[in-house]
Amino acid sequence: MDAVGVWQRLHENLLAECNATGCLDLHRTLVDSSHLHAINTCTR
């Protein structure tokens, strides 16, 4: 739970820094964790 908005601010700051250095091109960015599969998962 993020009651004080820490993760939101961290996310915004990280995106701002990446954008300021020219490392971020949102026109070519897509993240969708629902399509990631766990590989070599623990069987315990």
Question: Hey, where are the domains in the chain?
Answer: 1-44
Residues 6+ apart with CB under 8 A from 43: none
Looking at residue 25, what is its pLDDT?
Answer: 75
Q: Give the Cα separation of 44 and 33 in Å (integer).
A: 24
Looking at residue 29, what is its pLDDT?
Answer: 67
pLDDT in tens, 5-25: 888 899 899 989 988 998 877
Looking at residue 33, what is its pLDDT?
Answer: 61
DSSP 5-37: -HHHHHHHHHHHHHHHTT---GGG----GGG--
Looking at residue 32, what is its pLDDT?
Answer: 64
Q: How far is CA 40 from CA 16, 20, 21, 29, 37, in A?
A: 34, 37, 35, 27, 10
Entry pTM: 0.49
Looking at residue 2, what is its pLDDT?
Answer: 64
